[in-house]
Amino acid sequence: MDSGAERCNKMYDDADAGGEPTRCLYVLSDVDGYKYKLVLQGAVQQLPVKRIKKYLQMATGLLPPQQLLSFNGVALQDDFIGEEAGLFDGAILRLQQVAPSANQHRSGGSACELEDSSDSVRGSAGRPLQRTTRRFTSSSYEPVGLTVVPQQKLSPVAGNVQLLTTTTTAASSVPPTSTHSPPIQSQCEESEPDGRQDVRVSRSRFRALPYTQPFSGAPPSPLPAAAVPPTYASELQSSVEHSRRHHDQVPLTVNLESVKEVGHSYYDDAQGYRRDMEAKVAALSLENVRLREQLQAVARQAAVSNTDWRQGEEIERLKTALTAAKQSLAEAAETAAQRWRTKEEELVKELDLLREERRRLQEDSAAQETRLHELLHSMEGEIRSLKYELRDRDEALQSTRQALAGLQSQLNQREGESPQRNGRLQRSLQEEASRTHSIAALRPLSGSIDVLAEEALSGLAYFLLTPAPLQLDPTNDTCVVSVSEKLNLLVTLDRETEHLYLYVVLLSELPTSPVQRMRVYELLLQGALLGKDMAGGGVGLSTESNLILMSTSADLRHRGALALAANAPSFVESAKAWEEHLEAFLSN
C-alpha cells in the first residue's frame, strides 16, 4: 500500500469456520517499506511479541534479534504480551532493523538501534548513499555513522586531511543543540581488488556545531603531510564530493592543486559547507519525522477505511437482502390479500344465493300458509252453512211431523174412527218420535273443537264449584284446578283426538328400592282393576319424569263432556284418597 502496489501478507491466521471473530494488527516496515497485516483469532492482549517476530522473520527474512518492534514510540521486548504493550485490535506497529547483539552494547548500558530503511536507497550515479544508524542509550545520545565509499585512486592531500582531522577533534567536545540533527560519522575502508592486504584506518568521530553558532576555536596547528596517509586523503575527498553531488545536485569543480595552495581558506570553506550540510540534514530529519507521522496517520486511516469499506459492503449486502425480503414479503402479502379477496367474493356470492333461496322459501311458505288458512276458513264456512242447513231441515221435519200428526188426529175425529185405531196411531207416532230423538243423540255434535271445549269447561266449573270460570292456556291447551293444598287437577285438550283429559299426579318421585317400587306397582294395579277404586279412571307411569298419574278422559264430539263433568267430583275424591294411601304406605 505504501509503494503504490497493494501488498498484504497474512502472517498470523488461526481463524476457522464457526470460531471466534478475527482481529488484526498492522506492521509498518522501515526495512522494505511494506505494510504487513497479521490476522489472528482470539484476544490481541494475549499475543506474545516473540510470536509476532517469528512470523515477521518468515516474511522479511530478518532474525528476531535484528528486529525492533515499537508501538507509540515504545520498544517492545520479547517477553512482552499484547496486554503489557497496550495493543488492541487494529493497532499499528513499527518494524526497524537493528545491528546484531554483539554490536548493541558498547559502554555497558542497554541500547536499542533504530535503522531507517529509507537511507538504503542508492543515488542516481549508482553510488551507495550513507546509511545512518541511531543508537539510544540510557546514559547518553551517541550517534554512530557508517559511510561506504567505492574504491577510488586519489592522490593524498596532506594539508586538507590535517585540517579535517583537527576540526573533528575540536568539534567532538561541543554538545549538540538539537536532538533531531542526524550524526555525521565516517569510517573509511579500502580493499584492493587484486587481493592485496586491506588497509584500514581508524574510525573518525566528530560532532558538528549548529549552523547558527559560529566556530570559536583556536586555529589548528598544521600537521606534516607525511602524517596523513594518502588513502585516507583520497577517500575523504571522494566522500565530500559525493555528499555535495547528492544533496546539492551541483557538480563539484574542485582542483586538488588549487586546494593545496589555498591552505587555510579551504579549511574555512569546508567548515561552512559542513555547517550547511548539518542544517540541511537537520531540516531533512525533521521533515522525515513529520512525514513518518503523516505516513502512520495515513496508514491508520487506510486501515480504518478498509474496515469501514468492508463494513459498508456488508451493510449494502444486508440492505439488499433486506430489501429483497421486504419485497418478497410484500408480494406474499399482496398474493394472500388477492386470494382472500377472491375467496371473500365467492363467499359473498354464495351468501347472496343462500339469502335469495331463503327468501324464496319464506315466500313459498308464506303463500302455502296463506292458502291453507284460506282453505280452512272456507271449509269452516261450508261446515257452518251445512250445520245451519241441517238444523233448518230438522226443524222443518219436526214441524211437518207435528202438522201431519194434527191433520191425522183431525181426520180421525172427522171419520169417527174407533178409539182402538186412535190408540194404535198414537203409539206409532210416539215410537217414531223416540227413535228420531235417539238418532239425533248418536249423531256427532257440530261446531268447532274450541266451542266444545268451552262447553265442557263450563260444566266442570259447575260441578267442581270453582269460584272462577276455567280457561285453557293457549300455549299448551292445559288448565290447572287446585282441589287441595297438596293436590292439583290438570285439564288438557287433545285437538287431534278431540278428547278432554283429567289427571292428577299421585307420586312425583318413584321409590329407589326395587322391592318397594314393585309393591307400589302392585297396589296401584289392584286399585285400577275395572276402575272401581279410581272412579272409572286409570293409572299410568312415566320413568323419564319419575311420575305416577291417575287420569280419565271423554270424547267431546259425541256428547262425553257432560258425563266427564258429572264424574269429576267423584274422580277428585278418589285421587285424594289414593294420595293419602300412598303417602302412608311409603312412610311405613
Per-domain residue ranges for the chain? 121-262, 327-438, 449-587
Give the cell for residue 561. 263432556
**pLDDT tens track for 385-432:** 888 888 788 888 888 888 888 787 777 777 665 555 555 556 665 665
Residue 299: CB atoms within 10 Å: 17
Q: With CA atoms as reference, report the closest residue to 164 among 281, 266, 279.
A: 266
**pLDDT tens track for 442-472:** 445 556 788 888 888 888 888 888 888 888 8
Q: With CA atoms as reference, report the closest residue to 275 among 212, 218, 203, 228.
A: 212
Q: Which of 151-165, 223-237, 244-258, 356-370 has the highest mean pLDDT?
A: 356-370
> What are 249-258's contacts with CB under 8 Å, separation 24+?
256/154, 256/155, 256/157
Give the whole-number percent of the chain exceeding pLDDT 90: 15
Longest dimension (CA), the chain: 226
User: What is the average pLDDT across 511-525?
Assistant: 88
Kindly indicate whether the domain formed by 449-587 is annotated with CATH number 3.40.640.10: no
**pLDDT tens track for 79-107:** 899 888 889 888 999 999 987 654 444 33
**pLDDT tens track for 49-81:** 999 999 899 888 889 999 999 998 889 998 899
The DSSP bridge partners found for residue 430 are none
